[in-house]
Each structure stands twice: as structure tokens, then as C-alpha cells.
Amino acid sequence: MEKPHILATKPGEYKGIRQIFAPLLEKHFTVVPYHEFEKNPNLWAHKIQAVIVWFTIPKISRDLLLSLPNLKAVISGGVGVDHLDIPLITSFGVKIANTPNIVDNATADIGMALLLASARKLIEGMGRIGHKIAKRAQGFDMKILYHNRKQREAEDEKAVGATYCAKIEDLLRESDFVMLSVNLSPETHKLIGKRELSLMKPTATLVNVSRGLVVDQDALVEALEDGVIYAAALDVTYPEPLPRNHPLLRLKNVLILPHMGTASYQTTRAMVERIIANTHLALEGSPLLDEVKPN
């Protein structure tokens, strides 16, 4: 029996799934590399039933969706879905899934590593990843303050010793380390700008493990140069990677990592396996493990 066809970047290509994991995909699917599809879309269009998105590639446009009449699913590696037009994709009857549970622990580990210099108080958007960071912070006697759109249940707060603050301004004034672990959305785009940075302590450090666009980088550069805040630790930037002449790269009070929270062999393999599982479920017409739906 012919294996189902999926569209993806060629394993091993820039921003593609690493070549070492190609056999995992090829065991289950016939992988159509995106560049081959572009050369002759008519040859493949009716065969492709799923698109695997890795590091935001390939881009899921209206034209691509129109060209794939038998498409059933778009499966994205990672937790962020800001690169996907969810209403557009689902309007074609196409399901969407990501790999949040795999990514959460890896991102929490990176966030905790960036905090361990001397933090004793911190702020987070305490969703799944933030809650995992808070659990890790407990072991280092850190006082945990957090701000969410909605307060977590009392048992969740008690489990990690966290205190809720309704106003982000109060948290910015109080925190020694400001940890950002929020989804990128219109509401969180440039959540931290010049005003917010001015409210922070001059001894405070900004830590971002969410998305680069959550921070106004021009305002951050100015705040770091002028001593408005002490330092920044960033696992994410915009763009990624930064141009070699970007001012953030010349500042001595900035630590920048290359968005490496999921870069280990174990985490990447687990993500690929989860992608395979979700793809099979989509092709069977079964509920997905990690389905993403429009708000």
C-alpha cells in the first residue's frame, strides 16, 4: 500500500527537520520536499494530505491551500502558532496541531537556566510554561510573583508558592527578574516597551523565552544603554537570527541564545514522533492529540 504523501521542507535543509530524523518520517509517509512541489505542483497536489511546518516553513498561504484539494491537516513543530493563519486554514476544513507538551519542559529548562545567576524574585505570564518555570524556581527559594489575564486556581498558586498581581505595573516595579513566557498575539505584541522598561528596577534583568516581538527591541536597546535596567537574557529575538550589526549584539549586558529551547536530540525526536502521531490521527479522521482551534 502506498504511504500517505506529506509536504515538508527537505530534511537537513536550512530550518528543516534534521536529517537524522528523516527515517522516522519516511517510515510512515512519502515526504514531498517543498522545493520539488514548487517545480511541479500538478504532479503532487492531489496526493498531499498533510503539511508539516518546521520553524515556520513552509508558509501556509491561501494559494497553497487552494492548490491542495485533499489536504486534511497542517501539523506544526513547536508550541507557537503565530506563524499560522488559523481562521484561514480551518476555513478550508483543514485541522491544525502543534507539539506544546513536548516543548514546554525544554523551554522551562532554558528559562530557568537564564534565571539562575542571582534571581530572588521574578515575574511571569504563568501559563503552562510559566508554571513549569515556577516549579523549578521553588528549589532556589525564589519569591514568585505573576501576572495573567486570569488568576490561576488557588491550588496551582499554592503548589509553586506564587502570588498573583492584577496589575503588570506593580510586578514590574517589584521584580528583580522579569520573565516573559506568553503567547504572541495582538495583545502581547510589544508588551514590554519603553514605558514598561522604565517601571523596572535599575538592578532588574529582563528574560524572554516567548517570542521576540513581545519586546520592543529598540526600547530595550535604549534601556540597556542608558542603565534603565541592568541586563537582558534572550532566547528569542526578531528577526532570528539578528543581523550581525544589530545593536543588541554589541552590548555587554545582554545574553542572547539562538532560540535553542528545543534543540536537544531527545526533544527534537519527541517532537517529530508527536508530529507523526497527530498526522496519522488527522488522516484517519480521529481527534488530534494537540489540536489548535480558532479562538
Residue numbers annotated as active site: 211, 240, 259
Q: Residue 81 and residue 214: Cα distance in Å, rounded? A: 14
Q: Residue 228 and residue 224: Cα distance in Å, rounded? A: 6
Which three three-digit cell numbers place residue 97? 496541531
Q: How many CB atoms lie within 10 A of CB 130?
A: 30
Amino acid at 149: R
Amino acid at 210: S
